Every structure is written in C-alpha cells, then in structure tokens.
Amino acid sequence: MKDELAKNSKFPHPYFCSHPKWRYFILTTVLIGATMSALDVSIANVALPTIQNYFHTSLSNVEWVAMAYMVTLTALLPFFGRLADMYGRTRMYNIGFVVFTIGSALCGAAFSITMLAFSRALQAIGAGLLQSNSVAIITDAFPKEELGRAIGLQGAVQATAMALGAFLGGAIVSAIGWRYIFYVNVPIGIIGTFMAMLVLPKGIAKKKEKIDYAGAILFSISLLAFLFALNKGSSYGWTSSIVITLFGITIICLPLFFYNEIKNKTPMIKLSIFKSWGFTVGNFTGFLSYLIFFSVLFLMPYYLEMILHYDPLVTGTLLTPIPVAMAIMAPIAGYVSDKVGRRLVTTSGFIVILLAIFMLLLLQPNTSFFFVTLSMVVLGLGMGLFTPPNNSEIMLSVSPENRGVAGGILNMMRSLGLAVGVDVVGLVFSNIHYNYIHLHFHELSYSAYKHLWGNYQLFIKTIPRIIVVVLL
C-alpha cells in the first residue's frame, strides 16, 4: 500500500508517505505553526511599551496592537474551521502559513501604529487558519491510542515557546529593536510553508456547499461586541452607554445566529455537534480551566508586587514555573491518557487545578518564596494534566468532517476564557480593592489610587496577553 501511496499525487513527496513514522512528520510540521504563533504572541506583547514610545502614541492606541490580534483571532476561529472542513484542512493550513508570514513582515515594516494594528489583524487571520486546523490535522493523522501523546507533545512545545517567548522578546527588543520580533517569524514561516507543502497531502475540495456568510457575520459581530464590552467595561464603566450598547448587540445577534444555524441547510456550526456530551462538557470544562489559569496570571502580580513587594523581574520569574510544569506534564498526561483513558486523567487534572487554587487561598503576606513557587508548579501540572486529554476527547467526539469547526471552537474557548476570566475576576478584585483602600486608608486620595491602579492595570494587562491565545 505504501508504494501505491508513494505514487499518489495527493502526497507531494513520496519519502514522507513511505516512511514508517509519517505521522511524526505531520506532527512536526504542525508544531512549527504552533511554535510560531505561540512565540509571536509572547514576543509581541513584551514589546508594546517600546512600540508605544517609538510611535509616540497613547496607551489606548498601542493596546489596539494586542486587541486587533486577539479579537480577530477569536471571532474568526470557528468560521475558518468550517472553511477547512469544506475546502480541505491542508489547503487552509498552508494559506495560514503564508498569511501569517506576510502579516509578520508587514508588522516589522510598519510605519505607523495604524499599519501595525492592521498588520496584526492580518497575522491573526493567518494564526486563525493555523490554529483551527492544527488539532484537527493531528487528530486525523493519529489513531486514538496515540492521539493523547501527540496532542501532549503539541502542548509541551507550545508551553515551552510561551515560556521562552517573553525572554526572547526582551532580548531581541533590547539587542536589535522591536521590528525584529516580527521579522523573526518570516524565516520560520517560510520553512513551515515548505514543510507543509512537502509533508501534508494536497488539499482536496470537498463537496461544494454554500458558505454560511450570514451565520459567520452574526457570530463574529456578537463575539466582537461581547469582547469589546468586556475589555472596555472596566475603563468606561459597566453601566456606560457604550458598554450597554455592545452587550445589547450581543444579546440581539446571538439568538439571530442560532436561528440562522437552525434554519440554514449548510450552517457554519452544525449545532448537532453539541449533542455529544464529550464535546459540550469538554469545551465547557476547557473554558473553565483557561478562565482559572488566566485569572491566576492576572492576580498573582498583584500579590507578588503589592503584598510581597517583589520587583517585576522577580514576578515574571515566579510565574515561569507554570509553563515549565505544563511543558513537562503535557506529554506525560498524553501518554498516560492513552493507557488508562482520557476521562480519568482530565478529572485528575481538574482536581490538581483545584488544589492549586486552594493553595493560593493559603497565601499570606509572609508566605515563603518556596510555597508561592510550589503553588505555581501545581497549577502548571494541573493544566498540563488536564488539557491534552481534554483536547483529544473533544476532537474525537465529533465526526472527521466536523473536526475543523470543532478545532476552531476548542481554540475559541481559550480566548474566551482569557477575556471572561480577566474581566470578571478583575471586576471582583478592583471593587473590593477600591472599597478596602477607602475604608482603611482615607489619606490615600482617589487620584493617587487611580494612578496606582492604572499603572498596575497596564502591567498586568500585558501579562495575560503575553500568554494569551498561546497554549494552542
């Protein structure tokens, strides 16, 4: 069969289809895309203050560089997944590599903050095409007895990229300038594109179906409005007319989207996939895990800097054990889940996450450095234990022709977990913190507090985004 396949024109290079480890060539190709997008987000966010100074622009303007990426990516993921289901995952994946590489080059060459924000949006389109297909391609390539291991390896590589990204970004910005944090993607993207052309089978157009533009537009508008409302709620006020209008748009567009999906013969998201308990609950628990994870990354700098009085460098170092522990645990979890079953491992993973949160409740103003590090390690181990088998389970619970859209939804949950987590926990935190200061420190004027809080928000807002959309 191998010879027959080697001659098959759908497989670009005969070497890769006749090799006994053909699956691992595919995995490696997918990992290049995953590493690139993981590195990019970490690296890019580290450079935001430098970019702000370079263009002499305001914080709200430079925030668009991060926002344009996150919002575009989140809103388009399921749509791209659907396109991949219709037109072939490899084709969409290859286009993703090319678009991401061009977007990176344009980011590096940006002559204004507006061009940079638009180029980041273009990058996000490329990243969306890569992300919505990466898990689906791995799921298609591996038998379910080995899938946990493959997705675990993917998680490990991404967590390593996430851990290295911030350091690399800092080094590149200080050594050769911020433009090179984007240019660094260009050679990686070119290698990735050639690898994908050599290793992945050529895309075959599936049966022609009508694209559900109405569904895609309604879904994107409702999600965009929701994300903007969450993002702007803390600065404009949750009862401000802008935020209420944005929530209103979500409330109107979301039911219209569901109505359209029910009525449409070729919907963007086949709602029947939610009948699968594994898919629905897997996505819900995945969303919760990311919400908790990003919320901890949001809260810890407060504790470390304002209670323990560590400087930002120590704070960053103390957060590093999380991705390191994830990188170590993810492949182990994948391997174990292939042996003992995914559900036992995902449940154990969430119990470890719960343990980590319980440890955070025990933190005191005089807690030792060791205990703080240990709690971060436990959180990383919990996330590493939970995520790979949960992702495998989600992907295996849908039929192969729906894996693109399933991969898109899975990745979208990560971004939603970040957005909802940071804003909901941030809301609880800031309200109590504000009341506490007014109750106990009357001498601290509101303007001084606002200044302090503003600086703090600037710092912590960059941290979750460093790690954002990443874990892919």
Side-chain half-sphere of 171: how many Cα atoms within 13 Å? 6
Side-chain half-sphere of 115: how many Cα atoms within 13 Å? 10
Q: Please give the helix or strand (H or E) that residue 35 lies within, else none.
A: helix 22-46
Q: Please give the helix or strand (H or E) that residue 446 lies within, else none.
A: helix 446-467
Q: Which of 37, 45, 250, 346 binds other proteins (CB under 8 A)?
A: 346
Q: Which stretch binds other proteins (CB under 8 A): 174-182, 266-274, 281-289, 332-340?
A: 281-289
Contacts of 463 (CB under 8 A, 6+ apart): 297, 298, 301, 319
Position 428 contacts other proteins (CB under 8 A): yes
Is the CB of residue 99 less than 8 Å from the CB of residue 126?
Answer: yes
Q: CA 203 to CA 181: how far, in whole Å?
A: 31
Q: CA 218 to CA 446: how far, in whole Å?
A: 41
Q: CA 320 to CA 327: how far, in whole Å?
A: 11
Count CB-CB contacts under 10 A for residue 23: 15
Helix (H, G, I), strand (E, B) or coil at 266: coil
Position 430 contacts other proteins (CB under 8 A): yes
Shortest distance, position 338 Cβ to other proteins, whole Å: 13
Helix (H, G, I), strand (E, B) or coil at 422: helix
Q: Please give the helix or strand (H or E) that residue 404 lies within, else none.
A: helix 403-440
Residue 103's identity, in one-letter code, is G
Query: Crossing angle for the helix pair 321-340 and 369-396, nearest 10 degrees?
Result: 40
Is the CB of residue 337 less than 8 Å from the CB of residue 388?
Answer: yes
Shortest distance, position 327 Cβ to other proteins, whole Å: 22
Shortest distance, position 151 Cβ to other proteins, whole Å: 14
Position 457 contacts other proteins (CB under 8 A): no
Compose the 6-25 pattern: x for residues touching other proteins by CB under 8 A, - for all others.
--x-xx-----x----x---
Shortest distance, position 138 Cβ to other proteins, whole Å: 10
Q: CA 110 to CA 31: how far, in whole Å?
A: 28
The values of phi and psi at residue 373, to 5°, are -60, -40
Question: Residue 175 or residue 365: which is nearer to other proteins going by CB?
Answer: 365
Position 343 contacts other proteins (CB under 8 A): yes
Q: Which of 61, 106, 115, 202 binds other proteins (CB under 8 A)?
A: 202
Position 358 contacts other proteins (CB under 8 A): yes
Question: Residue 82 or residue 89: which is nearer to other proteins going by CB?
Answer: 89
Q: Which of 176, 242, 251, 344 binds other proteins (CB under 8 A)?
A: 344
Q: Which stretch binds other proteins (CB under 8 A): 82-90, 96-104, 227-235, 456-464?
A: 82-90
Position 144 contacts other proteins (CB under 8 A): yes
Position 284 contacts other proteins (CB under 8 A): yes
Compose the 83-122 pattern: x for residues touching other proteins by CB under 8 A, - for all others.
-----xxx--------------------------------
Q: Which of 41, 70, 353, 378 binds other proteins (CB under 8 A)?
A: 353
Query: Where along the sequence are the contacts to other proteins (CB under 8 A)?
Result: 1-2, 5, 8, 10-11, 17, 22, 26, 88-90, 139-144, 200-204, 276-279, 281-282, 284-285, 288-289, 291-292, 295-296, 299, 302-303, 307, 343-344, 346-347, 349-351, 353-354, 357-358, 360-361, 363-365, 396-400, 424-425, 428-430, 432-433, 436
